[in-house]
């Protein structure tokens, strides 16, 4: 009986399930599960995904690599794999490098200076005799934006004006003090 006890304990521990986590492997473009994705844990093959795209991986590891023909391989750390879903992206949609050559160099500051500066609250640009702009009359978004800008400017005027708010007064005085101290020259003796 004493000899059977260690054997029974060994058999019982062998039958205990190993803690593992199920990971779903999907196509990054279509979001469908992928089957037969080779999974490597710490550079050791542990198996392939099922037809449902699932694979059980051990609880403790440092890196996991997922590979399938026609897809880019993914090498992820343990923290990244714990999100339960791994996406593999098709290799045909992958570009190694993109180089852009410019033909014309445009000075942005000069272009901005040339652009007309028009405020939304300004009147419409003058039209020649007989012209009629039906688009501006029917544009609800333009009218809404115009009202919104008017309200915001009124709010900013109130905020910038002198009111009896003691906090604003203290803030303005502290700003004046800091500006005045910066302007005073330092006296040397």
In this predicted model, what pLDDT tens digit does every residue of 121-180 receive, in sequence order?
A: 666 666 666 666 777 778 888 888 888 888 888 888 777 765 667 777 788 788 787 766
For residue 183, what pLDDT is reported?
56
For residue 169, what pLDDT is reported?
78
Is the model's pLDDT at 72 over the cut of 80?
yes
Is the model's pLDDT at 17 over the cut of 60?
no
Domain ranges in the chain? 16-93, 134-181
CA-to-CA distance for 112 and 9, rounded, in angstroms? 81
Polymer length of the chain = 189
Higher-pLDDT residue of 77 and 14 is 77
Q: At a CB cut-off of 8 Å and minimum separation 6, what does 52 contact?
A: 24, 33, 35
Higher-pLDDT residue of 116 and 120 is 116
Is the model's pLDDT at 99 over the cut of 60?
yes
Q: What is 16-93's CATH topology?
A: Immunoglobulin-like (2.60.40)
Q: How many beta carbons lie within 10 A of that of residue 39, not counting itself?
A: 22
């Amino acid at each position: 009986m004493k000899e059977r006890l260690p054997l029974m304990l060994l058999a019982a521990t062998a039958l205990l399930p190993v803690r593992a986590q199920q990971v779903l492997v999907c196509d990054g473009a279509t979001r469908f599960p992928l089957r037969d994705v080779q999974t490597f844990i710490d550079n050791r093959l542990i198996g392939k995904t099922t037809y449902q795209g699932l694979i059980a991986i051990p609880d403790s590891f440092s890196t996991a690599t997922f590979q399938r023909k026609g897809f880019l391989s993914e090498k992820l750390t343990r923290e990244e794999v714990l999100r339960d879903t791994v996406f593999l992206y098709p290799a045909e949609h992958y570009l190694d490098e993109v180089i852009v050559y410019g033909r014309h160099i445009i000075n942005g500051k000069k272009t901005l200076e040339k652009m007309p500066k028009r405020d939304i609250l300004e009147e419409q640009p003058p039209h020649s005799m007989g012209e009629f702009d039906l688009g501006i009359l029917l544009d609800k978004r333009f009218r809404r934006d115009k009202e919104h800008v008017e309200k915001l400017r009124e709010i900013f005027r109130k905020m910038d004006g002198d009111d009896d708010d003691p906090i604003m007064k203290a803030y303005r005085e502290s700003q004046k003090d800091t500006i005045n101290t910066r302007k005073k020259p330092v006296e040397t003796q």
